[in-house]
Structure 1
Amino acid sequence: MSDTSETRVLRAAVQVDGEPASYLTAGRQDAPPLLMLHGTYWSRVWLPVLGHLADAGLRPLAVDLPGLGRSAGQLTVATGAVPALADWMTRFVSALHLCGPIALAGHDIGGAITQHLVAHELLEVPRFALVNSVLYDSWPAPHVAQFRDAETGEGVLTARRRAIAGALAGAATQSLIADYADPWTDERVRRSWTALASAADNRYTLDLVPALQRSTVPKLLIWGEDDRHETVAYAERFASEIPRTTLVRIPHADHIPMENAPDLIGRALADFFRA
């Protein structure tokens, strides 16, 4: 376990399916766990809010999916599908010996995995949050879908840098873009990412709607209002159709609003999960 650039946040790893699964964490080991899932990015998206959550008495665990971020392994189209990744998450939880209720937060396709885990009751989830998540038929976004069955060379890396710059909106700097893009300098990660893109299918969220409409679990949506693909209109629809859902809108933020408003989002998540 080693310190990251934020001294109270640590990066650790645990063996899942024989490969190291990397994750960021903070707070006390005995604090209530909060499992945080990424999608087409990696655990770095959660870094700005981990300290807030630890200060609130939670134990955030921001995992890198297999083959992505700092995790080992490599995804295929089969293992990169939402149901397969949800099953992998249950094995990650078992590897960490987490027992009892586990709160969830999902960003991007990580939100689809979160919805799947809740709808299929694969984990005991007392409440969950979605941040600029895929919902209904909002995905795959064109800039992701174009890389289905694509080559995994510099074209992917260039496209990821461009997508990151847009997703960071006003928070984007050259150094921050480079930090976010770093995993894609590894061809293995690029292959995993194109597998994830190839597996992206909105039926995985559309099929969950009836179960979510029956769900009594409290739900929080946090949304960067300037997201051009996972638009706030989808979040408004979800909040109106899915019971016990609260929507928090983040103005002047795009797809990764944690970088634009870390204090606001950190407090919103902490208040919600402490309730």
Structure 2
Amino acid sequence: MRIQVVGVVGAGVMGIGLAQNLAQNGHQVILVDISEEILERANAQIKKNIRFQGFFNKNEKVENSENCLHKIKFSTNYKFLEKAEFVIENATEKWDIKKGIYAQLDAICPKKTIFAANTSAISITRIASVTKCADKVIGMHFMNPVPMKPIVEMIRGYHTSDETISTAQELLSQMGKEGILVNDSPGFVSNRVLMLTINEAIFLLQDKVASVEEVDRIFKTCFGHKMGPLETADLIGLDTILFSIEVLYESFNDSKYRPCPMLKKMVDAGLHGRKTGQGFYAYSEAI
């Protein structure tokens, strides 16, 4: 059965990409965030993304921004999510924030609604524990930029049911994506490896072993990576990198996950990467 209405919580980079991707594949989307200002920026960014998508994919049919935005309801009111069959949450990687969101979702959404946490590192089992429907909570770690990435890391929590997994896979299929299912552990597969790599690359800068360009060039030329670890950090967002590595450090109590002091300083300075226009590289405009 096709899922018709999908809620998206959080209108940051990931939420914007998800809302766009879902609307372009025919879903009705309810995009929720805490302020009208954030939602207005999201609206403008989706228009911009679709224009660029049409420019770079001239041989493909790309739905125009008016048709796409017509399928998205922008709101600061969680109550509209009572109509959602499936909700994807994309809030900041802070436990206190996520815990509060799921308490609201649990109170508003029908019992049949599936909750998907688009998290980089926080345990899906822990998230499910604050709801009354732990069997309907699953992890869906989308990659950035969402419309262009065909693979999603799916995470089975302790109580996640087979029916929930099947429905989530069906939604991904409707979005033109495929899920790879893994078991629950902080950081899962992708970020348990990637965050360590990025953090260590930043230590290399701090220790003056190599420059930003040299670190990235080695990974791109020697290993065939499309982007180096520091370019990847800028794309993800240095604040998200720091939040994720802190979750891993707290979860495993292992010193190998100790955040690099240089990373902390850059985040404190507001150098968050592409989203702010400056990270390890400078960008013409913030996203």
User: Normalised by the size of structure 1, how large is the TM-score?
Assistant: 0.31
Bigger Cα Rg: 2
From the two aligned structures, give the one with the greater strand fraction: 1
From the two aligned structures, give the one with the greater helix fraction: 2
User: Normalised by the size of structure 2, how large is the TM-score?
Assistant: 0.30
Structure showing greater relative contact order (alpha-carbon pairs closer than 8 Å, 6 or more residues apart): 1
